[in-house]
Amino acid sequence: MSQNSPAPTLVFDLDGTLADTASDLIGTLNALLAREGLAAVAPEAARSLVGAGARALIERGFALRQAPLPEIRIELLVKDFLAHYEAHIADETRLFPGAEAALERFGDAGFRLAICTNKPERLARLLVDRLAVAHRFDAICGRGSFSVHKPDPEMFRLTVAAAGGDPARTIMIGDSRTDIDTARNAGAPVIAVDFGYTDTPVSALGPDRIISHFDELWPKVQELLASSTDRRT
């Protein structure tokens, strides 16, 4: 890293990127389904249900059980969902393999690190704290942190600013179309993980790089930083 260059910033999505949250999210959905006398959703269905927020998860889960919900019921169930999920937010959730070591390596190398998620900020902070990596981040931003959310590029820019970063030296890491669109809308490079929560394979969404394990993140970041420097010179 050049002494004349600002410290690079990495902006991470949370669910499906840093943390495998599907089990606790599906567990909360199943608690609501059971309360309504409906059959549970199998864990293997998680990847097609989660990733778009609590409301979408509830709608998808109940639709899977042929039990569509009127609007007023959805609003009530979202409140119940969030309360139950908060109480069980890290029962089974874990960081993906290699994530903690990667955060440590980048942090030790002087990178600024941030989280930019559509998960409510309060829950994002709670989860990151429970996973014992909150101290690794210069900013943790979620739904409610600002008046916008992903894929609005302003969410990305405000997160970078909160971390004290330079948008021109920032890379997004995510697992879905929303993350890739956020980066594209902000004019930032993006690395996609291929083990997250998306109906469409990330290879079809055109990220700049793809990783299958966090051990691969360091060289991919170096490639993108080098290409960014080449474009500016």
Q: Which pLDDT tens digit goes with each residue over 166-184?
A: 999 999 999 999 999 999 9
Q: Which of 32, 62, 87 is the last residue of a domain?
A: 87
Residue 232 predicted with pLDDT over 80: no
Is residue 119 in some structural domain? yes
* Beta-bridge mates of residue 16: none
One domain for residues 228 and 140: yes
Clarify whether 13 is annotated catalytic: yes
Is residue 163 in some structural domain? yes
Q: What is the pLDDT of residue 146?
A: 97
Mean pLDDT of 6-25: 94
Q: Which of 87, 120, 144 is the last residue of a domain?
A: 87
One domain for residues 56 and 147: no
Q: Is 135 exposed, middle or buried (0-12, 13-18, 19+ CB in 10 A)?
A: exposed
One domain for residues 192 and 213: yes
One domain for residues 121 and 195: yes
Task: Sort strands 94-95 and 19-20 into parallel, antiparallel or unpaired.
Answer: antiparallel
Q: Quick check: 167 and 186 in contact, CB under 8 A?
A: yes
One domain for residues 109 and 206: yes
Calculate the alpha carbon distances from 229 to 9, 99, 157 in Å.
14, 26, 20
**CATH number of the domain that 129 lies in?**
3.40.50.1000
One domain for residues 172 and 219: yes
Residue 230 predicted with pLDDT over 70: no
CA dihedral sign, ordered 164, 223, 184, 106: negative
CA distance 82 to 144: 14
Specify the length of the chain in residues: 233
Q: What is the pLDDT of residue 71?
A: 80
One domain for residues 62 and 177: no
One domain for residues 110 and 79: no
One domain for residues 49 and 145: no
Mean pLDDT of 120-138: 97
As for how many domains the chain has, the answer is: 2
Residue 21 predicted with pLDDT over 90: yes
Q: What is the pLDDT of residue 72?
A: 80
Q: Is 75 exposed, middle or buried (0-12, 13-18, 19+ CB in 10 A)?
A: exposed
Residues 6+ apart with CB under 8 A from 209: 189, 191, 192, 220, 223, 224
Is residue 174 in some structural domain? yes
Is residue 120 in some structural domain? yes
H or E stretch at 202: none
CA distance 3 to 202: 35
Residue 2 predicted with pLDDT over 50: no
> What pTM does this model have?
0.92
Range of the domain at 32: 22-87
